[in-house]
Amino acid sequence: MTASAEILDSLRTSVDYDSPIPYYVQIKEALREHIERGDWRPGDQLPGEPELCRIFGVSRTVIRQALKDMEYRGLIVRRKGKGTFVAEPKILEGLVQKLTGFYQDMVERGYTPVSQVLKREVIPANPKVAAYLGLEPDVPVIVIERLRFIEDEPIVLVTTYLPYELCPEILHEDLSGQSLYACLEKRYGLTIARGRRTIEAVPANEYEAQLLQVEKGTPLVLLDSVSYLEDGTPVEYYHALHRGDRSRFEVELVRIREQGGVREVLGGEGVDLPPSNDLA
């Protein structure tokens, strides 16, 4: 769908040539206003570069810089040979503040998450997985690889490792439409109490790009996490690859004050980083 004539007529097109604000920033803000007001909806096509040059009275270089910045900020997507389109809004996920998994988190936000189980088998733990789970190398672990969908769009590719002796029957559970965390708690009495995780940006390899429907080399957000029971037993290690163009993370911060050698938490309930929303 292309921008209607009415929207183009109402577009703020004046550029203040005497302003210290760069031209491309002024144009970017004008286009952003229309997206945020809902004049252009996700999937709508913006005017082409020549039309935008005519509308704003600036060079193509300026228009390209404005569009490049908007693309970098996830406001638009540019498809080669097709044009520029308003991007789908990013899916907000809590990063550390809740002991819920991806499934519950998405349900609470009004989505219907679905998982495609790509792999589920028992393997000997390699040294890295064994160290995270507090096991000896080659001890049996369950590996589950799932592709998580929101509204038929792949969002997350997650690989989970669980100690086999803690939950052997998980191999037979249908995890396509239920929470792994809820299953662990209800069936095995394994309630995750806290966790530690790292976050970094990584490029998508060919396999990941194909599954997540992005181009090879596209930035992904990698979460690495270890989850623990109340007694400190490691129960789960996972790494999850989130599409950078569709994911945004929310972090709740707390202030920690030292008083007489005692740590006091202000504005929160604890200082451990609980696993929030990647699996279940």
DSSP string, 191-233: ---EEEEEEEEEE--HHHHHHHTS-TT-EEEEEEEEEE-TTS-
* The pair of three-digit structure tokens given for residue 200, joined into one six-digit string: 């970094």
Distance of alpha carbon 208 from the chain centroid: 14
> Do 78 and 100 have their domain in common?
no
Query: What was the pLDDT predicted at 92?
Result: 46
Q: 278 lies in a domain? A: no
Query: What was the pLDDT predicted at 33?
Result: 82
Query: 88 near 35, Cβ under 8 Å?
Result: no
DSSP 110: T
Query: What was the pLDDT predicted at 50?
Result: 92
Check which CATH number belongs to the domain holding 217 and give it: 3.40.1410.10
> Do 158 and 262 have their domain in common?
yes
Query: 276 near 99, Cβ under 8 Å?
Result: yes
Q: Number of folded domains in the chain?
A: 2
Give residue for tokens 């989505």. 111
> Do 78 and 97 have their domain in common?
no
Query: What was the pLDDT predicted at 199?
Result: 84
Query: What was the pLDDT predicted at 90?
Result: 58
Q: 222 lies in a domain? A: yes
pLDDT averaged over 10-residue windows placed end to end, the chain, 280 residues: 50 77 87 81 88 91 90 79 80 48 52 80 92 94 91 88 93 82 87 84 89 89 89 92 76 60 44 39
Q: 193 lies in a domain? A: yes
Q: Which domain holds residue 152?
A: 91-266
